Structure 1
Amino acid sequence: MENVSAVTSFILTAYTELEDHRYLYFICFLILYILTLLVNLVLIVVTCTEKGLHEPMYLFICNLSVNEVCGSTVLLPSMLSICYLIIMKYLFFCLLEIYCLMSYALVEFTILAVMSYDRYVAICRPLHYHLLMSPRKVTAAIVLSWVVPSLFFALYFILTLQPSFCDRYIERIYCMNFELVKLSCFDTTIIRFVGPVLIIVCPSPQIVMILFSYAQILRICLSASKESQAKALQTCTPHLLSVINFSVGCLFEVIQGRFNMSHVPQKARIFLSLYILIIPPLFNPLIYGISIQAIKVQIFKLLSSKKRSETNAW
């Protein structure tokens, strides 16, 4: 056991698995990060610059992309350091990484829940849509989607954090709160109980909102015409894909954090760890950009105008 006071940094042992092909992984991570930034920034720019997209649904999608850029930026640039095998992280940066990653996950799920409510109002209560989703209420929903999850996790973070550690080795590619708890020098029985309870309690309101919204949408669709059903399906499919995609990533993370995964190959565990920070941020903008006609039209308009300006410059 190491001296308690000496543990001020942690070694991420999962990176040693990537040592033999570190330059290949560097290129892969760099390409993934650039693509993630590119597709999300295009969606953000289009939404912000086009007044026709200043509607609640598009504003929520824009905030989703902003959060995904933040989440990817927390981790992927630091992973580029594996090219030089910089696998040590100081306590401060480890704690900062934990807070940012968990806040990203909670904010993402909260925005997805608000988006499900927006779809419920649009489909089930269309006559009251502009009243229930007024600019003031939409602004409040966006602010709360960012502030409440961050504050909630701050409370969880303070309750579960232990200041002294007896070991420095973390078998992951990034720091996680429960990994630090397992390295604590003190009795963590209460913390090990509080952690799972909070994991269940924290996303419960969002889960209830999503289930309620889609239960009501399904109820309305069952009694609607085929044309209305097709329109509702077209409207809800991108959001449902986003919810399922992100939920799968969260499930991978919970399973890895709470269960013994030593029987799973290390590279498979690395992929499971990266899923939540690569797949949703990369594919969500593509899903919305391809599926939603209004966004697709504006993206083509933006790209074509840029091409024309370059041609005129020549």
Structure 2
Amino acid sequence: MMDNVSVVKMFILSGLNETNNYRLTLFTFTLLYYCVILFLNISLIMIIILDENMHEPMYILLCSFCINGLYGTTGFFPKFLLDLLTSSQQISYEGCLLQAFVMYSFACCDLSILAVMAYDRYLAICRPLHYHSVMSKRRLSQLICFSWLTPFCIFSVNVLLTSRLKLCHFKIQRIFCVNWMIVKLACFDADTLSNNIAAYITIVIYVFHGIFTIWTYMHLVKTCVRSKEDRVKFMQTCVPHLTSLVIFILAMFFDLMYMRFGSRDIPQSLQNFIAIEFLLISPVINPLIYGFKLTKIRNRILGLVYIKRK
């Protein structure tokens, strides 16, 4: 009787099989794109940290949002760039589980932060007289810890359940490791029931995150149509958040649907794009949207540009 432990020590990522003819070009553009992500997010983080006028809940949550963007993209891009320079795209068993953890926790941390940001905007616009008493430093700290620790704890359980499986295959049809794809490599007699239960519980938890955010925005819209001042506040502070939310939900929805029900007959390049669009779009669009739409950040950026010109 074999122990219920994986004998696989290395995985092969087969998502780059059709890129042999243009890997150097892809490496160049990917490296430039990753540098843009680092520049935009680090710039926004530093602006918020260094400007005391932005030490407010909305901007601190935005800073946490950008930090999460750096966390998630760092879990993918360095390994992907290395794979583009090597002939065989291998990753160790432990490294694969770690990358799967980072990818999942990054995505769900984004959704948790978006839910907390929606709650913050709800208090600011719908209950302005109670905002400062409710959104205290202690409450803000609790909400930030919730948005980070919840996905970390949930996906620690998911990855631990995966680590106990005996795997009989080692080829992952992706350019990075995904927990569900690792579970699909389990031997026929492996017990994956607990993995499936944990996966569906996780989905339910984050569906409720989404429902809460939608419910919050229903109240926001209902409140903002009553006065011109509230409509202006909504356009300035809520539209960037709503845009980020829509982009994120669409990206994750397409990826989840494809991973569960997608056909393998579509081109490999399209499969790769569907898999990583949440890593390509959100980390660039988010700092750009908030940088241009939020008045304090925009004025700070314009002030820095003006000083440099002088």
What does residue 44 of structure 1 align with? 45
Contact 1:119 1:236 in 2 (8 A): yes
SS across alignment from 1:202: helix
The Cα offsets for residues 217-248 of structure 1, whole Å up to 9 and x where unpaired, read as 122124x1244323323321000000011111
Worse-superposed segment, 209-218 or 117-126: 209-218
Q: Show the 5 A alignment for 1:203-218.
A: 203-218=206-221
Can you list the C-alpha shifts for 1:59-105, whole angstroms capped at 9, x where unaligned? 00000000001111110111112122340111011011001111111
Measure how far apart 1:216 and its partner are. Answer: 1.1
Moved more, 149-158 or 279-288: 149-158
Distance 1:193 1:96 in 2: 19
Provide TM-score, normalisation by structure 1: 0.91
Alpha-carbon distance, 1:190 to partner: 1.5
Alignment of 1:1-314 (within 5 A): 7-81=8-82, 82-185=84-187, 186-188=189-191, 190-191=193-194, 193-222=196-225, 224-306=226-308, 308=310
Q: What's the CA shift for 1:150?
A: 0.4
| Distance (Å, rounded) in 2 between the aligned partners of 1:86 and 1:146 | 34
Q: 1:253: how far off? A: 2.1
Structure 1 runs (4+) greater than 4 angstroms displaced: none
Worse-matched range after superposition: 137-146 or 118-127: 137-146
Consecutive unaligned residues of structure 1, counting only runs of 5 or more, are: 309-314
Change (3 A) 1:307 1:94: farther
Residues 38-74 of structure 1 deviation map (CA, whole Å, 9 limit, x = unaligned): 0001100000000011010000000000000111111
184-193 vs 234-243, which moves further: 184-193
CA contact (8 A) 2:158 2:199 kept: no
**Do the aligned residues in 2 keep the contact of 1:162 with 1:181 (CA within 8 Å)?**
no
Aligned partner of 1:311 in structure 2 is none
SS in 1 for 2:230: helix
Amino acid at match of 1:129: Y
Q: Which amino acid aligns with 2:145?
A: V
Deviations 1:203-224 (A, max 9, x none): 03422320221121122124x1
Asked if structure 2 preserves the Cα contact closer than 8 Å seen for 1:161 and 1:181, the reply is no
Structure 1 residues 35 and 112: CA distance shift in structure 2, 3 A:
same
Select the structure that is richer in helix.
1
- Residue identity over aligned pairs, in percent, reads 35
Paired with 1:208 and 1:5, the residues of 2 have a C-alpha distance of 38
Q: Gaps (5+ residues) in structure 2?
A: none
TM-score with structure 2 setting the length: 0.92
Deviation at 1:192, TM superposition (A): 6.1
| CA 1:76–1:264: 2 relative to 1, 3 Å | same
Residues 257 and 203 of structure 1, relative CA distance in 2, 3 Å threshold: same
* Aligned-CA RMSD value: 1.8
Whole-angstrom CA distance in 1 between matches of 2:258 and 2:138: 40
Structure 1 residues 205 and 260, CA, compared in 2 at 3 Å: closer, same or farther? closer
* CA distance in 2 between partners of 1:228 and 1:144 (Å): 29
Structure 1 distance, partners of 2:309, 2:159, is 48
The 2-side partners of 1:257 and 1:198 are apart by 18
- CA 86–38 in structure 1, closer or farther in 2 if over 3 Å, else same: farther
- Residues paired across the two proteins, number: 304
CA apart distance, 1:139: 1.4
Instruction: Give the letter aligned to residue 212 of structure 1.
Output: W
Deviations 1:150-174 (A, max 9, x none): 0111122223444321111111000
SS in 2 for 1:283: helix
Of stretches 249-258 and 123-132 in structure 1, the one that deviates more from structure 2 is: 249-258
